[in-house]
Amino acid sequence: PDNIAFLCHDMIPTMRPDLVAKNRWQAAFGPNLERLVRSGAAAFCTSETAATMLGDHMRKAGIDLPVVHRFPMPSLLHERAARLRMTSRLEAGEPYILYCSTIEIRKNHIMLARIWQQALDEGVWLPKLVCVGRWGWMVEELSAYLKAHPGLKEKIVFAGPVSDEELIGYYRSASFGVFPSHIEGWGYAASECLDFGVPVIVSTTPSLIEATGGLMPAVGSTDQIGWYGAIRRMTDDGAWRDLLAGRIAEEHRPTSPAESWAAIKAGLKAAAACAN
Instruction: Say which residues have a Cβ less than 8 Å from residue 234's Cβ, sequence separation at least 6.
Output: 175, 176, 199, 201, 217, 240, 241
d(C-alpha 237, C-alpha 197), whole Å:
17
* Confidence (pTM): 0.94
Of 46, 35, 68, the C-alpha closest to 207 is 46
Mean pLDDT within 17-24: 88
What are 121-165's pLDDT values in tens digits?
999 999 999 999 999 999 999 999 999 999 999 999 999 999 999
Mean pLDDT within 42-63: 95
Is the alpha carbon torsion for 210, 230, 198, 128 positive or negative? positive
When computed from its CA atoms, the radius of gyration of the chain, rounded to whole angstroms, is 20
Q: Within 10 A of 243 (CB to CB), how many other CB atoms are there? A: 11
3-state SS assignment for residue 130? strand
pLDDT of residue 265: 94
Domains in the chain, please, with CATH? Answer: 5-73+256-275 (no CATH), 76-251 (3.40.50.2000)
Residue 2 pLDDT class (50, 70, 90 cuts): low
Contact of 199 with 243, CB cutoff 8 Å? no
What are 192-222's pLDDT values in tens digits?
999 999 999 999 999 999 999 999 999 999 9
